[in-house]
Amino acid sequence: MSRTVKDYIRSIADFPHEGIVFRDVTTLFADARGFRMAIDQLLHPYAGVRIDRVAGLEARGFILGGALAHQLSTGFVPIRKKGKLPGTVISEAYQLEYGEAVMEIHDDALQPGERVLIVDDLLATGGTAEAGIKLCRRLGAEVIGCAFVIDLPELGGRKRLEEMGMPVHALCEFEGA
């Protein structure tokens, strides 16, 4: 029986809080066959599409984004939590379940007209990805899509991004929060 990407993902109950089931992609990353499968499947919809940069959302998006950028022979751009990037940055705040967070990108990371693919491991509410899209657009880049390993459809992230006109590609779904 052949395995799917979802088969490589470990579920951990009650982490980081009671009642939460954490979807752990480190088991996917640790398996050479599973990791290769995920990278190949994340790239598949973009075969033949011009992508100038891959932007990874902190932190697991860096692992995926670096591998995708390598496969595409293009550059990688990190979108980080506030205070993590040296140099001049632009910032975008977004809402969390309890409070607010801020994502940042270097102000010279992208050039106007560059075509960017945004990558992360998990799509939940879509707040982090939305902040990433807005940052890229503020620098004049065109975000051509967002790619994720996991979608949690009940949390509404896909709908949120699609309402922004953003194509969303996810390799698997898990029910629940």
- Record the tokens describing residue 25, joined without a space: 């992609």
- Record the tokens describing residue 10, joined without a space: 């470990």
What contacts 146, CB < 8 A, 6 or more positions away?
Answer: 117, 118, 119, 120, 123, 129, 133, 161, 166, 167, 168, 169
- Record the tokens describing residue 15, joined without a space: 């982490």
* DSSP H stretches of helix in 2-105: 26-30, 32-43, 60-72
140 to each of 45, 112, 115, 137, how far by Cα in Å?
24, 4, 10, 5
Q: Are 164 and 130 in contact (CB under 8 A)?
A: yes
Catalytic residues: 60, 97
